[in-house]
Amino acid sequence: MAFDLQKMLHRKGEFESARLDAFAFRVRARAMRGLAEALGEDPDDLVRAIATDEDDAILARLGETHGPDAVRAAFATARAAAEADAVAELGDPTPVRLA
């Protein structure tokens, strides 16, 4: 039985990509939930919106009613808090090295 390094690296790449995508999605959902709470919006509506819209489109839509600067500042705060919470809960998302 031979060890296939290329196949193993390909599988690791797929696993790491999926893991990082899942982490990014969790951070995005938590950030939108935090943003909704900061702006007094319905959190479920914003979390549902991430399935169909990009963050910039969501922020632009919210900026029409709450002011673009206020929305950007609240989103930056919510995103930083969401990322810190996700790292505390799930661990550091950086890929594991093959050393």
- The whole-number pLDDT of residue 3 equals 75
Instruction: Check residues 7 and 41 and name the one with the higher pLDDT.
Output: 41
Torsion angle, alpha carbons of 90, 31, 19, 10, to 10 = -150
- The whole-number pLDDT of residue 76 equals 96
Q: Given the structure tokens 């290329």, which residue do they identify?
A: 6
State the burial class of residue 74 (Cβ atoms within 10 Å of its Cβ: 0-12, 13-18, 19+).
buried
| Range with the poorest average pLDDT among 7-11, 35-39, 46-50, 92-96 | 92-96
- The whole-number pLDDT of residue 92 equals 84
Q: pLDDT tens-digit profile of 75-87?
A: 999 999 999 999 9
Q: Would you state the structure tokens that stand for residue 24, as one six-digit string?
A: 């990014």
Q: Which of 27, 38, 26 is nearest to 62 (CA)?
A: 38
| Range with the poorest average pLDDT among 3-12, 28-37, 48-57 | 3-12
